[in-house]
Structure 1
Amino acid sequence: MIKQLLTGLAISAGTLAAVSSAFADYPERNIEGIIQWGAGGATDNVARSLTPHVEEALGTSIVLTNRPGGTGVIGMSTVMQKPANGYTVLYGAENPQLYSIMGLADFDYSAMTPINVIGQGLVVIAAPADKEWKNFGDLLKYAHEHPGELRMGGTGAGGLPSTVLAMINSVDSLDVRNVTFGGDGPGITAMLGGHIDFMPLSLAAAQEHIASGRLKGLAVVTKESIEELPDTPPITEALPKMESYLPWGPFWAVAVRKDTPDDIVATLSDAYEKGVANEQFQQFLSENGAKSLNLQGEEAKQFLERWQSVTAWALEKAGSAKVSPEEVGIPKP
């Protein structure tokens, strides 16, 4: 019996040593990066700009795959169903923090381990360059005179456009038809083709098209004008009451399954911290009107919780939440 016990302990010790060794060698192969939105959108642009710098820090390749759909639920679910071994990471945006109040899913970022909250962006309401409106006030007047006529690009319930629309409707009335796309990129393509009339977008996705003259900025969702789009007025010029929700903006984050080993989480966190801090990526954020955050660990968790609280209760006030934040345990800000 004693001999069997000692043999068992030796095997267990050997197994633990092998597992520990495997963790110590991480990563031994390519990592899959799941982007929860489509190609050409803000999350996709951020992921593809950041990843080469992270690959350099990790010493391996990160193979990026777009898995849009369900306001990002499909991409996040894909990562949550993969083994918790650090070989699948989620490149996500802010949307998961609203899944519960929009009735989309019963999970959010608290069901995962955040690796890095990369940065936070600005929002611009954009329209095709040939539209007659000079600013958002003009569009709002037209919408009042032609209710239900305008086509607004969206990304589904809980997406950035629907959230901005809900905030607007909490202080005014913007009666439009929603046309849903799998991300900013497809929405921009539809706008350029004349299939929709306007769309709230991350500045990171829209700025190049505005600079080229293909799109025009009607308003930035800020209190004041911004350096990146000096000719685009802040939304408070048309809707002064919007100021109560500002500053506000989308963000981008990287996360893994919640039960991923601590050693692997630490390795990934260190690599993404270095990647975000890279001078070239910092320049990318700056050129696209985004603020670098580069948060890990407890700081990342606190940021995610605060953003969720502020936004969820703003949507509740606007009457756009399908489920009360209180019912799903989201505290008031």
Structure 2
Amino acid sequence: MKHMLFGGLMAAAFAVPAFAQDFPAKEIQGIIQWGAGGSTDVVMRTVTPHAERALGGKVVMRNMTGGVGAIATRFAYTQPADGYTLLMGAENPLLYKVMDMGDIDYSEFTPVNILARGVPILVARSDAPFDTFPEMMAYIQENPGAVKFGSTGPGGVASVVTTMLSSQADGMQVTEVPYDGDGPALTALQGGAIDVMPAVLGAAIESIKGGRMKPIAFINAERVDSLPDVPAITETNPEYGQYLPWGPFFGVFVKNGTPDDVVAKLVAAYAEGAQSEDFVNLMAERGFIPESLSGDAAAQFLSNWQSVTSWLIHDAGLAKKSPEDFGIARP
């Protein structure tokens, strides 16, 4: 009986390594939170073919939209923790709890790779009566409520940046005008319907280069190579450095409980994919900052992002629940 028990334990002990050694033994499904052609979709479909070659397997990608990414996130959470379901998403799940949009966020997943971060930039209509960030803030102070800022809704890049700016400026009174995405908002900016839009560089860079809008400052701690003449906000206002780096991001995740050896294989594969020429060129073209973070570095990045953003929108009265309720520490 003892020999039988020992033999069973030995078989169990070797079962997981054998499974991990064979991974992937079948197709992996990649669940993309957003629709075809969007930034998340393009990023994932550029990096994944290179990760596939490193893995020696196939990742079948599927767009699963809805609920600001919540439908895809919940679906991935319901799948086995075996590495055969990858959640390919952006930053939105980190705000689900405080925005009362769901109880499943990235704390239920292990980051395989935080691939890249978008850099926010303040852009103004080409004939706006200010050219720099200090000039813009002075104009806002002198004309309370007159400057129109584009917005894409609570928790979006524009609203978070506007909240970030107002957190360090006494009495920053602007009028926020809602739009269904940064594309329509940037079009409205070019037509003069709004004065300023906090946008992601990738969405605005071509219009900036074409002279259809003017850059004011990067919401970043340093300048960006693709527009080297545009200053970082910390050059004139270092007080904003406490929130930076910040911006929308793209990441690949697996459900918590996935075997360590499987996670390690996926981490190595996507790290290799993030070094591919295709991916590096895409980052440069879109104005994204490559990150390629995994392990503790990725966990710290996610924790910092959630802390900064959750408390910013809470203090601005945009959150439906307090970050404290979920143990999200104030930065």
Instruction: Give the TM-score range, shorter chain.
Output: 0.7 to 0.9
Instruction: Between 210-219 and 143-152, report the one with greater CA deviation.
Output: 143-152
1:79 aligns with 2:76: yes
| Cα distance in 1, alignment partners of residues 259 and 145 from structure 2 | 53
Amino acid at match of 2:306: Q
For residue 153 of structure 1, report the CA deviation from its aligned partner: 4.6
1:188 aligns with 2:183: yes
Aligned to 1:54: 51
Aligned to 2:163: 166
1:217-256 Cα shifts (integer Å, max 9, x gaps):
4542235654322454555799886555344323222111
For residue 118 of structure 1, report the CA deviation from its aligned partner: 1.8
Aligned to 1:117: 114
| Cα distance in 2, alignment partners of residues 57 and 13 from structure 1 | 31
Amino acid at match of 1:281: F
SS in structure 1 of the partner of residue 97 of structure 2: helix
Quick check: 1:144–1:174 contact (8 Å CA) kept in 2? Answer: no
| Cα distance in 1, alignment partners of residues 239 and 14 from structure 2 | 61
Q: Cα–Cα, structure 1 residues 179 and 67, in superposed 2: closer, same or farther, change >3 Å? A: farther
SS in structure 2 of the partner of residue 157 of structure 1: coil
Q: Cα–Cα, structure 1 residues 34 and 147, in superposed 2: closer, same or farther, change >3 Å? A: farther
Q: Cα–Cα, structure 1 residues 151 and 124, in superposed 2: closer, same or farther, change >3 Å? A: closer
Aligned to 2:326: 328
| Cα distance in 1, alignment partners of residues 328 and 161 from structure 2 | 20
Amino acid at match of 1:174: V
| Cα distance in 2, alignment partners of residues 283 and 99 from structure 1 | 32
For residue 165 of structure 1, report the CA deviation from its aligned partner: 2.6
Aligned to 2:101: 104
Aligned to 1:184: none
Instruction: Between 109-118 and 12-21, report the one with greater CA deviation.
Output: 12-21
Quick check: 1:42–1:205 contact (8 Å CA) kept in 2? Answer: no
List runs of 5+ in structure 2 lacking aligned partners. Answer: none
Q: Cα–Cα, structure 1 residues 33 and 214, in superposed 2: closer, same or farther, change >3 Å? A: farther
Aligned to 1:176: 176
Amino acid at match of 2:253: A
For residue 329 of structure 1, report the CA deviation from its aligned partner: 0.7
Q: Cα–Cα, structure 1 residues 159 and 331, in superposed 2: closer, same or farther, change >3 Å? A: same
Identity of aligned residues (%): 40
For residue 164 of structure 1, report the CA deviation from its aligned partner: 1.4
Aligned to 1:274: 272
| Cα distance in 2, alignment partners of residues 24 and 265 from structure 1 | 12
Q: Cα–Cα, structure 1 residues 173 and 149, in superposed 2: closer, same or farther, change >3 Å? A: closer
Matches within 5 A, 1:1-333: 6=4, 21-126=18-123, 132-133=127-128, 152-154=150-152, 156-170=153-167, 171=169, 172-181=172-181, 187-188=182-183, 191-192=186-187, 197=194, 199-208=197-206, 210-211=208-209, 217-222=215-220, 225-230=223-228, 232=230, 234-235=232-233, 242=240, 245-333=243-331
| Cα distance in 2, alignment partners of residues 50 and 204 from structure 1 | 17
SS in structure 2 of the partner of residue 90 of structure 1: strand
| Cα distance in 2, alignment partners of residues 56 and 224 from structure 1 | 35
SS in structure 1 of the partner of residue 246 of structure 2: coil
SS in structure 2 of the partner of residue 103 of structure 1: coil
SS in structure 2 of the partner of residue 97 of structure 1: helix
SS in structure 2 of the partner of residue 327 of structure 1: helix
Quick check: 1:40–1:205 contact (8 Å CA) kept in 2? Answer: no
Q: Cα–Cα, structure 1 residues 148 and 213, in superposed 2: closer, same or farther, change >3 Å? A: closer
Instruction: Give me the TM-score of the superposition, normalised by structure 1.
Output: 0.77
For residue 191 of structure 1, report the CA deviation from its aligned partner: 4.2
| Cα distance in 2, alignment partners of residues 146 and 311 from structure 1 | 25
List runs of 5+ in structure 1 lacking aligned partners. Answer: 182-186
1:32-60 Cα shifts (integer Å, max 9, x gaps):
22222334443333222212221221122
1:245-301 Cα shifts (integer Å, max 9, x gaps):
344323222111112222221111111121123344234334444333222222221
Instruction: Between 48-57 and 317-326, report the one with greater CA deviation.
Output: 317-326
Q: How many residues align?
A: 321
Instruction: Give me the TM-score of the superposition, normalised by structure 2.
Output: 0.77
Instruction: Between 139-148 and 49-58, report the one with greater CA deviation.
Output: 139-148
Q: Cα–Cα, structure 1 residues 30 and 143, in superposed 2: closer, same or farther, change >3 Å? A: farther
